[in-house]
Amino acid sequence: MNKRRFLLAGALGAAAPLKAATAAADARSGPGLLTVAGAIGRGNRGPLDPALDLLLVKHGRSFDKAFVLDAAMLARLPALTIQPTLEYDAKAHRLAGPSLASVVAAAGVAAAAPVVLYLRAIDGYSVAVSLADANRWRMIVATTLDGVPMSIGGLGPLWAVYDADRIAEFKDLPLKERFAACPWALYFIEVKTD
C-alpha cells in the first residue's frame, strides 16, 4: 500500500466514529421542542411542511432545512444556572439550561457569527437578539425552574432568558420591563445574517 493511500485510509477511518457520533447527537429520541432554521450550518430535518408544520405556517415561517432539538439533545448541552428576580411574582428563581449560543451552535452557527436570532414563542411573540448580545447577556434556554422541568401552560417548556438582576442595562429598569427580550414558551429560532 502506498503512503498516500495509507494516510487517506487512516483519515477516513478516524472520521467514521466522528461522523457516527455527530449523527447520533443529531438524532431525536423524543418530540422536537425547539426548531432552529435560517443561516445555519447543518440540519437534521428537511423543509417546512405546509400540511404538518401548522404553527410555523400560522406564524409565517418558512425554511429549506432546520435543526430540531428534543429534551435529551438540550440536556446533553452544558447547562448554566441563573437566579433572576422574575416579574411574575417579584421573587428570585433558579433557572437552568444550555446557553442560547450553544443551542444555535448545535445547528452549526459559529459562536462569533454576526447574526441576529429571531426568537419566537408559541403565542407568536417574537423578539430579535443579536448573537453578540445573547453571549454578552449570558442568555440561556431554560429548561428547568427551581429544579423542576417547565411545562407548556406555564413559562415552558423552554424560555430564552437572562439574569436581568446582574446586567447593567436591565437591573435598574422596573421589574415589568426587564424581560422584553425573553420569550417564554420558545419554540422557534430563525438565524439571520446582519
Low-confidence spans in the chain with pLDDT less than 70: 1-26
For residues 10 and 86, state if they share a domain. Answer: no
What does the alpha-carbon distance between residue 135 and residue 29 come to, in Å, rounded to a whole number?
Answer: 29
pLDDT of residue 151: 95
What is the chain's mean pLDDT, rounded?
Answer: 90
Domain encompassing residue 102: 31-193
8 φ/ψ angles, rounded to the nearest 5 degrees: -65, -45
The answer to whether residues 124 and 154 belong to one domain is: yes
pLDDT at residue 171 in the model: 95
Q: Are residues 116 and 162 in the same domain?
A: yes
Q: What is the CATH number of the domain that holds 177?
A: 3.90.420.10
Residues 46 and 122 in one domain: yes
Instruction: Identify the pLDDT of residue 153.
Output: 93
Closest CA to 142 of 112, 109, 186, 181: 186
137, 56: one domain: yes
Q: What confidence score (pLDDT) does residue 21 get? A: 37
| C-alpha–C-alpha distance, residues 169 and 152, integer Å | 30
Q: Which residue has the cell 448580545?
A: 133
Residue 113 shares a structural domain with residue 141: yes
Contact 157, 183 (CB under 8 A): no
Compute and round to an integer the Cα radius of gyration of the chain.
Answer: 19
pLDDT on residue 102: 97
Contact criterion met (CB below 8 Å) for 190 and 38: yes
pLDDT reported for residue 26 = 67
Contacts 24+ apart (CB under 8 A), 56-60: 56/188, 58/124, 59/120, 59/124, 59/126, 59/188
The C-alpha cell that represents 109 in the structure block: 452557527
21 and 36 fall within a common domain: no
The C-alpha atoms of residue 144 and residue 158 are separated, in whole angstroms, by: 8
Are 22 and 35 part of one and the same domain? no
For residues 35 and 66, membership in a common domain is answered with yes
What pLDDT was estimated at residue 28?
85
* 21, 37: one domain: no
Count of all residues that appear for the chain in the document: 194
- Tell me: do 174 and 100 sit in the same domain: yes
Per-residue confidence (pLDDT) for residue 15, from 0 to 100: 44
**Total structural domains within the chain:** 2
